[in-house]
């Protein structure tokens, strides 16, 4: 009996160990969406199986089940990001050049309102816990807090630096990467009060930001090829990991315990395992495509969506050549099930 129990215990432990292993990722699909314009942020709406893609002056809407373009929102001048409030059937689009947030009906994709915010609204997020929209305004160095139900501006919060990505703790506190300061700032979206800020050194120019709410860990993707991990409660840097070049996004998959960081300059996706006692290990550097620097994650399917395109060789004085017409694709990345 004791031998049988020992064998059974060994099998169970082995099963748990295998299940806990970080999966290998692969490019599962490619959606050839074409279209014109550069891009910035992507947003997944798992409820409606939609991917919203910013394209400079318009937003493309892609069906994540079929990979087909199912709609387009025009006149989003200088669009950076899209936030979805499903309970109101609303989408909120930051139009950087017009200093407004455009509100659309997500069922018809038609504009219903425009909200005046700070200068050059960039990052935008929806906090379901408070039913608020938050924009980070890159030129006026502040954040605008909007009531998602009636589109009213609740507060304007001075951030003291250029905001990049933002995340919420689900309890009315918002964390924002300040790219020019190399810091994270935390503020209360209800009172509009700054709570604290801290440096992400040795990281520099943080852009992408992800959050592990269970363990209160913030992940900042930095321009010097470092993923910096901070304790959201104390503001202390508690870990780091090496990532690819040119990141402009980061996502934490709570179900799998991994952080995904795209490197647009070298065409890689870093898969970082968040281990015990603040150990962070790069388990895989998946080859994607050069220019795939931003991403969005569907937490239900564990699939990440990255956008990329082909570019002509740069001419003298150019940092990058022109985008080849019709070459834009969405890379669908996820765990390899085989």
Burial classification of residue 171, based on how many CB atoms lie within 10 Å of its CB (0-12 exposed, 13-18 middle, 19 or more buried): exposed
Write down the pTM of the prediction. Answer: 0.92
Q: How far apart are CA 39 and CA 37, in angstroms?
A: 7
Distances (CA, A) of 10 to 2, 4, 5, 13, 18: 12, 10, 8, 5, 12
Q: What are phi and psi of 19, to 5 degrees?
A: -65, -30
DSSP, residue by residue, 277-337? TS-EEEEEEEE--TT---EEEETTTTEEEEEE--BPPP-TT-SS-PBPTT--EEEEEEE--
Bond prior to 202 in cis (omega within 30° of 0): yes
pLDDT tens per residue, the chain (338 residues)?
444 444 333 433 333 333 357 899 999 999 999 999 999 999 999 999 999 999 999 999 999 999 999 999 999 999 999 999 999 999 999 999 999 999 999 999 999 999 999 999 999 999 999 999 999 999 999 999 999 999 999 999 999 999 999 999 999 999 999 999 999 999 999 999 999 999 999 999 999 999 999 999 999 999 999 999 999 999 999 999 999 999 999 999 999 999 999 999 999 999 999 988 999 999 999 999 999 999 999 999 999 999 999 999 888 777 778 899 999 999 999 999 86
Burial classification of residue 114, based on how many CB atoms lie within 10 Å of its CB (0-12 exposed, 13-18 middle, 19 or more buried): middle
Going by C-alpha positions, the residue among 75, 104, 176 that lies closest to residue 134 is 176
First to last CA, the chain: 36
Q: How far apart are CA 313 and CA 4, in angstroms?
A: 66
Q: How many other C-beta atoms are found inside a 10 Å radius of the C-beta of residue 41?
A: 24
User: Which pair of tokens denotes residue 57?
Assistant: 């002056």
The length of the chain is 338
Distances (CA, A) of 208 to 48, 224, 260, 323: 25, 13, 10, 24
């Amino acid at each position: 009996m004791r031998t049988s129990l020992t064998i059974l215990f060994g099998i169970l432990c082995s099963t748990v160990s295998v299940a806990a292993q970080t999966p290998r990722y692969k490019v599962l699909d490619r959606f050839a969406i074409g279209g014109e314009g550069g891009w910035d942020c992507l947003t997944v709406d798992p409820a409606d199986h939609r991917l919203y893609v910013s394209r400079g002056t318009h937003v493309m809407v892609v069906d994540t089940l079929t990979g087909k373009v199912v709609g387009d929102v025009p006149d989003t001048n200088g669009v950076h990001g899209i936030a979805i409030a499903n309970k109101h059937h609303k989408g909120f689009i930051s139009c950087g050049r017009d200093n407004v947030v455009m509100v659309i009906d997500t069922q018809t994709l038609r504009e219903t309102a425009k909200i005046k915010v700070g200068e050059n609204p960039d990052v935008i997020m929806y906090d379901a816990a408070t039913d608020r929209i938050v924009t980070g305004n890159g030129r006026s160095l502040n954040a605008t807090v909007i009531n998602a139900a009636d589109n009213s501006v609740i507060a304007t919060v001075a951030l003291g630096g250029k905001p990049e990505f933002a995340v919420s703790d689900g309890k009315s506190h918002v964390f924002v990467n300040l790219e020019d300061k190399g810091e994270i700032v935390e503020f209360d979206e209800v009172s509009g009060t700054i709570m604290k800020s801290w440096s992400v050194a040795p990281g520099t120019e943080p852009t992408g930001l992800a959050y592990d709410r269970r363990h209160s860990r913030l992940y900042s993707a930095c321009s010097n090829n470092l993923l910096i991990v901070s304790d959201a409660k104390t503001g202390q840097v508690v870990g780091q990991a090496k990532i690819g070049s040119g990141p402009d996004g980061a996502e934490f998959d709570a179900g799998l315990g991994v952080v995904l960081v795209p490197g647009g300059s070298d065409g890689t996706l870093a898969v970082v395992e968040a281990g015990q006692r603040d150990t962070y290990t790069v388990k895989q550097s998946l080859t994607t495509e050069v220019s795939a620097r931003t991403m969005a994650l569907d937490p239900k399917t564990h699939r990440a969506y990255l956008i990329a395109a082909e570019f002509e060789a740069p001419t003298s004085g150019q940092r990058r050549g022109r985008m080849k017409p019709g070459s834009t694709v969405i890379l669908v990345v996820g765990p390899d099930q085989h």
